[in-house]
Amino acid sequence: MITSRWAAAPARTASPRRRGAVLERAILDAALEQLGTVGWKGLTMEGVAAGAQTGKAAVYRRWPSKEDLVADALRAGLPGVAEAPDLGAVREDLLEVCRRVRDAMFSRPGSALLSVIHECDPEEAERLHTVIVTGVVEPTLEVLRKVLNRGINRGEVRPDAVDDYVLDVIPAMMMYRSKMCTSEWSDRELEEMIDRLMVPLLRATGP
């Protein structure tokens, strides 16, 4: 059988053009990916556009600067520590909080956040300060406060042991040792921190 040269060619399926929230989500995801791989200093609007498979103009229409884009990417992607655990003992509750913080630190959004914290100059960091405080610092401290107050009610924690300095100990230790000692915070390391530092610090005095 002779096929006519005028026969219709098979139709090509065009890839759907992304718009609105779908495109914005792709751009924000690409920004987080860039932060986690090339860091704050290596991130460019062009690189984000390429990662999102869109044009540079589509990025600039929505975010006029790198700081604006990163702020929204962090807001959209930062994992929360959820509700305060209640496992029946303050030691176990603190360990569970630490595991959640560790998992968040080593997630893709967590890596993006660390690159911002470690690489931004003071002026750039100031623009992102509110995002970091409201999205990460305050929720983590609130969970820790609930855990310790519950420990006070159970008689495990001294009432005078809970203050702003004590609440800062776990986040500060985890951040410092991750950056300066490249610690990945194994379960054993978390247990040692809680048993050797937090439990003695918080322990209620006997009768």
Give the chain's domains with CATH numbers.
20-76 (1.10.10.60), 80-202 (1.10.357.10)
Backbone angles phi, psi at 183, to 5 degrees: -75, 135
Classify burial at 57, counting beta carbons within 10 Å of its beta carbon; exposed 0-12, middle 13-18, buried 19 or more.
exposed
Separation between Cα atoms, residue 125 and residue 133, nearest integer Å = 11
Six-digit token string for 28: 């924000």
pLDDT category, 180, cuts 50, 70, 90?
confident
Lowest mean pLDDT among 30-44, 80-94, 109-123: 109-123
Residue 14: its pLDDT value, please?
A: 37
Q: List the single range of 40-49, 114-123, 146-155 with lowest mean pLDDT.
A: 114-123
Decide if 133 contacts 71 (C-beta within 8 A): no
Average of per-residue pLDDT values in the chain = 86
* Gyration radius (Cα) of the chain, Å: 24
Query: What element of type H or E holds 144?
Result: helix 138-153
Q: Output the pLDDT for position 17.
A: 64
52/63 Cα distance (integer angstroms): 14
How large a percentage of the chain has pLDDT more than 90?
59
Give the C-alpha separation, 121 to 125, whole Å. 6
Which SS3 state, helix, strand or coil, does residue 154 take? coil
Is 60 exceeded by the pLDDT of residue 126?
yes
Dist CA 167 CA 145 (whole Å): 7
Report the C-alpha gap between 155 and 151 in whole angstroms.
6
pLDDT tens, residue by residue, 128-164: 888 888 888 899 999 999 999 999 999 999 999 999 9
pLDDT exceeding 70 applies to what percent of the chain?
88
**pLDDT score of 196:** 96
Mean of pLDDT values over 164-183: 90
Residue with tokens 């792709």, as numbered in its chain: 26
pLDDT digits (tens, 9 = 90+) for 45-94: 999 999 999 999 999 999 999 999 999 999 888 776 678 999 999 999 99
pLDDT of 16? 53
pLDDT bin (cut points 50, 70, 90) of residue 105 is confident
Q: How confident is the model at residue 124 (pLDDT cuts 50, 70, 90)?
A: confident
For the entire predicted model, the pTM comes to: 0.79
| Dist. CA 122–CA 66, nearest whole Å | 15
Q: What is the pLDDT of residue 205?
A: 64
HSE at residue 113, side-chain half, CA atoms within 13 A, is: 24
The DSSP 8-state label assigned to residue 157 in this structure reads B
